[in-house]
Amino acid sequence: MGSVHVVARSAGRKGRRHRRAKVDLQAATTTCWLCGHGGAYELDHDPPRKVLLRLGLDPDDPRFHKAAHGSSCRCPTCGQCCNQVKGDRAARRSRMVRDWN
Ligand SMILES: [Zn+2]
Ligand SMILES: [Zn+2]
């Protein structure tokens, strides 16, 4: 750490590095970090992408990546889109904070 670099606004959401990160994550684990069930193919960020960008951290860094269920892969056990359930909750808490994209 200690090095300062510019993080693109799209970082952590799209681009070659992000696609690569998603593939690596799926190879490492498909256990949802939110509900603990398998079959999670979405890449989620912990801390959230928005927070990483605000802190000047790289959202494409695998250290911040977690597998989660999402709209494209509902949890077969709970039937929910875990990262969206979480996102809705966060959005209600901070309505003033708009997504930067
Ligand atoms: Zn889940
Ligand atoms: Zn589940």
CA distance 17 to 10: 11
In a domain, 49, yes or no: yes
pTM for this entry: 0.75
- Beta-carbon contacts of residue 51 (< 8 Å; ≥ 6 apart): none
- Model pLDDT, residue 3: 54
Task: Report residues of the chain scoring pLDDT below 70.
Answer: 1-5, 87-101
CA of 72 to the centre of ligand 2 (A): 14
- Model pLDDT, residue 69: 97
Q: Which-ligand-closest: CA of 81?
A: 1
In a domain, 63, yes or no: yes
In a domain, 21, yes or no: yes
Q: How many domains does the chain have?
A: 1
- Model pLDDT, residue 58: 95
CA of 45 to the centre of ligand 1 (A): 14
Q: Give the structural domain span for 22.
A: 16-93
